[in-house]
Structure 1
Amino acid sequence: MPSLPPARPDLVIFDCDGVLIDSELIACRVLSDALGEVGIAIPAEEIAERYVGLTGDAIFADLKARTGRSIPEGFRERTRPRLEAAFETGLQPMPGILALLAALPVRACVASGSPPDRLHHSLAVAGLFDRFTPHIFSAAQVARGKPAPDLFLLAASRMGVAPEACWVVEDSRAGIEAAQAAGMTALGFAGGSHCRDGHPEKLRQAGAVLVFQRLQELADLLAVSR
């Protein structure tokens, strides 16, 4: 087993999309379709590869830089009902997350780049909202999203835990970099349906001290840490 800090963390900070819920491919497909309707052709797989972990503002800024096209006013508002409908018909909690949370020996919270309305809706659809509320934090609450450390530092502060006593579970390079910048232990999760060959190595290269593909592995780590 790869070496980890000897002390059990006081807090586990979970990303939401791609960690707690298997939502990334659903969201990428909805976004790909909506972008195509405004003249920006980009496959869902490319969106997943380029943009998982980033805020909407960061995604749209990069798309404008790459394509020369601005996102039309009202785009998010028009896309949101389609995403919510897709979540309501296809969203599932990540396999193993319910068992992990039931046995978790330390405190936990959520810190996500998603806006609060999407974050709360997706957690509710997956049956996880009541497990985490009110300890749910969104990038909308900070000046800079991932890969900046602001969101994770906010979560730790609100939970009353020092950054060095936190483990962060992330599926994206931006999230791993944010956890590192916050002075936290970054763990990579590569078990979502959007993760392709090579994804674990990308998380390691970003700075994850350990990458796992089953959430039971996190439970095992916590069981042996003291």
Structure 2
Amino acid sequence: MSFDLVIFDCDGVLVDSEVISCRAHAETLTRHGFPITPDGVLKRFLGVSDREARRIVESEIGRALPETFEAEVKHATLSFYADDLSAIAHVGEAIAALGLPKCVASSGTPEKIHHGLTCAGLYDQLAPHIFSATQVKRGKPAPDLFLFAAAQMGATPARCVVIEDSVAGVTGARAAGMTVLGFYGGSHCTAEHEGMLRQAGAAVTFADMRKLPDLIARVGATASAD
């Protein structure tokens, strides 16, 4: 096997949270003069760090969002998590079956990641190797977070495989020189999602986490042969 490290995105890969997160962002943005639906948030900002999404919104409305904006989004998100969040189907078993070091590299804040993984019952399987875009200068689609995660784990980027559900995430991981498997099994994924991930550079795409261990082995063996 050619891989030394598996890097998981969090939202939409480990926890089925993208719909919840988009709802929280849409309600808060609309309240502050940027009318948008949850579907609009999904299409425009999936995988993009909160910092970068805020920069884009502020540029378009021509003013700064209030200092309380992040806190308002976080409060709404965490309150929705308590009632609606679940793990991606079969991801716990897939993680347990992987015989490789693993970590999380997410655009979310550390508190959001911790809360989401805890609510979904996955935190103990992945802690303490959990990294956030708040720890780097640039979030996805830049490669910074993936390179940071690999460095913290002592892995060479070319020997890392990333599990991502967003174009921004695939783009960032590919820019870091990593192999990407595109996951389109979250409740937020549309019929076009698989093709978008492939076009962004995913080596393979899949919608069932039960396939993940074999996919990593197969793609790794192919990379070794090359």
| Structure-2-length-normalised TM-score | 0.93
* Mapped partners of 2:108, 2:217: distance in 1: 30
CA displacement at 1:33 relative to structure 2: 1.1
* Mapped partners of 2:33, 2:182: distance in 1: 34
* Mapped partners of 2:54, 2:190: distance in 1: 24
Which residue in 2 is equivalent to 1:165? 159
* Mapped partners of 2:54, 2:134: distance in 1: 16
CA displacement at 1:191 relative to structure 2: 0.7
Kept in 2, the 8 Å contact 1:13–1:167? The answer is yes
CA displacement at 1:153 relative to structure 2: 0.7
Give the partner amino acid of 2:135: Q
* Mapped partners of 2:72, 2:13: distance in 1: 26
* Mapped partners of 1:152, 1:223: distance in 2: 21
* Mapped partners of 1:169, 1:39: distance in 2: 35
SS in 2 for 1:183: coil
The counterpart of 2:70, out of the listed 76, 81, 86, is 76
- 2:40 aligned with 1:37, yes or no? no
Which residue in 2 is equivalent to 1:126? 120
CA displacement at 1:223 relative to structure 2: 4.5
1:41-67 Cα offsets, whole Å, 9 max, x none, are: 101001011101111121112122333
Q: Any runs of at least 4 consecutive aligned residues in structure 1 with deviations exceeding 4 A, and if so which? A: 223-226
- 2:183 aligned with 1:196, yes or no? no
1:143-182 Cα offsets, whole Å, 9 max, x none, are: 1111111111111111111111100010111110111111
1:58-83 Cα offsets, whole Å, 9 max, x none, are: 11121223333532221111232221
Greater mean deviation of Cα atoms: 149-158 or 72-81? 72-81
Give the partner amino acid of 2:211: E
Task: Give 5+ residue unaligned stretches, structure 1.
Answer: 1-6
Greater mean deviation of Cα atoms: 211-220 or 141-150? 211-220
SS in 1 for 2:64: coil
The counterpart of 2:171, out of the listed 177, 186, 196, is 177
Kept in 2, the 8 Å contact 1:105–1:222? The answer is no
The counterpart of 1:55, out of the listed 49, 54, 65, is 49
SS in 1 for 2:150: helix
| Structure-1-length-normalised TM-score | 0.93
Kept in 2, the 8 Å contact 1:8–1:222? The answer is no
Give the partner amino acid of 1:93: A
Kept in 2, the 8 Å contact 1:19–1:189? The answer is yes
Residue correspondences, number: 220
Kept in 2, the 8 Å contact 1:13–1:109? The answer is yes
Give the partner amino acid of 1:131: Q
Kept in 2, the 8 Å contact 1:149–1:179? The answer is yes
1:64-123 Cα offsets, whole Å, 9 max, x none, are: 233335322211112322211100111000001011012112111000011111111111
Give the partner amino acid of 1:216: R
- 2:123 aligned with 1:139, yes or no? no
Structure 1 residues 207 and 223: CA distance shift in structure 2, 3 A? closer
* Mapped partners of 1:170, 1:147: distance in 2: 12
Give the partner amino acid of 1:104: L
Greater mean deviation of Cα atoms: 57-66 or 178-187? 57-66
Which residue in 1 is equivalent to 2:208? 214
Q: Indicate the RMSD between aligned Cα atoms, in angstroms.
A: 1.3
- 2:18 aligned with 1:24, yes or no? yes
The counterpart of 1:105, out of the listed 99, 102, 115, is 99
1:163-208 Cα offsets, whole Å, 9 max, x none, are: 1110001011111011111111011111111111111111111111
User: Matched residues, percent identical?
Assistant: 45
Which residue in 1 is equivalent to 2:224? none
* Mapped partners of 1:100, 1:204: distance in 2: 22
Task: Give 5+ residue unaligned stretches, structure 2.
Answer: 222-226
